[in-house]
Amino acid sequence: MDDFRKTVDTLSLEFGGEMIGPEDARFDDARGVWNAMIDRRPALIARCKATNDVQTAVKFAAASELSISIRGGGHNVAGHAVCDGGVMIDLSLMRNVTVDASARIAKVQGGALWRDVDAATQAHGLATPGGLISDTGVAGLTLSGGIGWLRAQHGLSIDNLVGADVVTADGNLIHTSADENPELLWALQGGGGNFGVVVQFEFALHAIGPEVMFAAPIYLVEDGPEPIRAWRDFLAKHGDKVGSLCEFATAGGEDFPEEHWGKRVFTLACVYNGDAAEGEALLQPLRELGEMSADFSGRMNYCDVQQLFDTLMPAGEFRCYWKARYLTDLTDEMIDLAMANALAAPSDSSLSSLWNFGGATARVPANATAFGDRSMGWMYSLDGVWTDQVDDEVNIAWSRDGWSNSERFGHHGRAYLNFAGHGEDNASLTQTSFGPNYERLVKVKTKYDPQNRFRFNQNIAPQT
Ligand SMILES: Cc1cc2nc3c(=O)[nH]c(=O)nc-3n(C[C@H](O)[C@H](O)[C@H](O)COP(=O)(O)OP(=O)(O)OC[C@H]3O[C@@H](n4cnc5c(N)ncnc54)[C@H](O)[C@@H]3O)c2cc1C
């Protein structure tokens, strides 16, 4: 340990960021991530300020034969950002975003959050598809897909990733784009954090807003499935312009009538990817499908929409276990099952949701990105969220049971790898979900990280 300490002291002379070891008063805060269940202790946290700090930290890990975890936004529910006994490369000080409005490109540092990107791009009336919660990291969300409100018209986050700067396992900095190291760009488009530390992403931008139409009529589960069936049929016609999810939750607080508090509800949440007034008219029928418990619909700024759900999910407060599978279709039976699963949730903080695909997302060929096949029509996600450790078992069981009992509606057993439990089914889930792209990913992994230094992720093992 003394030798290790000496090496760290030497390293800190050439490191421009912050070195945080277990004896440091900042250690417990620095190793904490979004899911309060994750309690791991890295040997060293290297909080980088610049690309050369990342290179120094990667070379140090290699020389010390330590594995590396990478913290982007720290939102991964499996806690892949933090490792036991290795080097945690923390990018939380690298959040810069620069926008070239005429080229419609944003350059985004590897530790940026979606709210950083939205603020910088909307200043020019532009945006790129992100996620639904603004303090989720750009890096982790993008590298495994990225499913957000703009997917109907502009696809997943990876479909807009046009370049990246990556520090690979040997500490070298590599640029990748369609013209330079294109195989690496392909792998980053869904293959996760397997190939190195992405210090900068380059995204294509699109004209969005600033005002968009957001619809969120809320109905009681006990009133029956008809609104969900009507919403499904509506999306079959308008899925090219509407990014949507049906989210099951529990009513509470002043926005709901008091007699509904504690009852299960579902929101038919939609963002119209086009003119706000046009969207308001188009989405109106979804607000007339029965008696609403509440209605959060309205025309609002895109940045506000991107932050609407933030208060549901504060960092570090909840214990979580999430699973999501793709569905071929959304049948009446699957809707009934989703309602039954929502009613059975042991925690009022848990959510579950049905997400539509189609539109631009579905038009990308299966081999164009590592992510793979786009022919799934839907995704079903079970987000177990609770506060007390004694409730761990029952809440994890709820997510897993819902995952199992929906298997017959699944899309070839494929899953969204950003919502993959705590990583316990990694090997099988990864292979099944990448499908025919898996072997090509193994080749890229073997080239850029032959010793599997980057293994705290949905791991793709290199060839030995
Ligand atoms: C509240 C909440 C809401 C969410 N909403 C959505 C949503 O709307 N849409 C969606 O698609 N997903 C969503 N997710 C899932 C989210 O995409 C994943 O949790 C994702 O891993 C988070 O990225 P991060 O950078 O914050 O995570 P981290 O925990 O920091 O990292 C996750 C993984 O990415 C790797 N990684 C991180 N940074 C880098 C980097 N710079 N270079 C290389 N690898 C890196 C890490 O090694 C790790 O394996 C949500 C998650 C939460 C908790």
Q: Residue 54 belongs to a domain with what CATH number?
A: 3.30.43.10
Is there an atom of ligand 1 within 6 Å of 326 CB? Answer: no
Could you tell me the two tokens for 408? 């017959």
Phi, psi (degrees; rounded to nearest 5) at 220: -80, 135
CATH of the domain at 152: 3.30.465.10
**What pLDDT does 425 receive?**
86
Spatial CA neighbour of 218 closest among 189, 191, 182, 251: 251
pLDDT reading at 1 higher than 60: no
Q: How far is the CA of 418 from the centre of ligand 1 (A)?
A: 7
Quick one: 66 and 9 in the same domain?
A: yes
Average pLDDT over residues 378-394: 97
**What pLDDT does 315 receive?**
77
Q: Report the number of distinct structural domains present in the chain.
A: 3
Average pLDDT, the chain: 96
On whether the CB atoms of residues 438 and 430 are closer than 8 A, the answer is yes
Last residue of a domain, one of 37, 55, 90: 90
**What pLDDT does 15 receive?**
93
pLDDT reading at 2 higher than 70: no
Phi, psi (degrees; rounded to nearest 5) at 134: -80, -15
Last residue of a domain, one of 176, 208, 240: 208
Is there an atom of ligand 1 within 6 Å of 198 CB? Answer: yes
pLDDT digits (tens, 9 = 90+) for 181-196: 999 999 999 999 999 9
Residue nearest to atom 15 of ligand 1 (CA): 418
Expressed as residue numbers, the domain containing 281 is: 211-432
Quick one: 104 and 80 in the same domain?
A: no
pLDDT digits (tens, 9 = 90+) for 81-130: 999 999 999 999 999 999 999 999 999 999 999 999 999 999 999 999 99
Average pLDDT over residues 21-49: 96
CATH of the domain at 329: 3.40.462.20
Average pLDDT over residues 426-445: 95
Average pLDDT over residues 268-282: 96
The type of residue at 284 is: Q
Residue at 121 is within a domain: yes
pLDDT reading at 3 higher than 80: no
Last residue of a domain, one of 70, 90, 110: 90
C-alpha 85/C-alpha 24 separation (Å) is 15
Q: How far is the CA of 321 from the centre of ligand 1 (A)?
A: 14
Residue at 452 is within a domain: no
Alpha helix (H) ranges present in 18-170? 27-31, 51-63, 114-122, 138-143, 151-154
pLDDT reading at 9 higher than 90: no
Average pLDDT over residues 331-355: 98
Give residue 7's pLDDT band: very low, low, confident or very high (50, 70, 90): confident
Give residue 450's pLDDT band: very low, low, confident or very high (50, 70, 90): very high
Is there an atom of ligand 1 within 6 Å of 384 CB? Answer: no
C-alpha 112/C-alpha 155 separation (Å) is 20
Quick one: 190 and 263 in the same domain?
A: no
C-alpha 72/C-alpha 34 separation (Å) is 11
pTM: 0.97
On whether the CB atoms of residues 415 and 432 are closer than 8 A, the answer is yes
Quick one: 215 and 128 in the same domain?
A: no
Q: Which atom of ligand 1 sits closest to the CA of residue 166?
A: 42
pLDDT reading at 398 higher than 60: yes
Average pLDDT over residues 345-361: 97
**What pLDDT does 426 receive?**
86
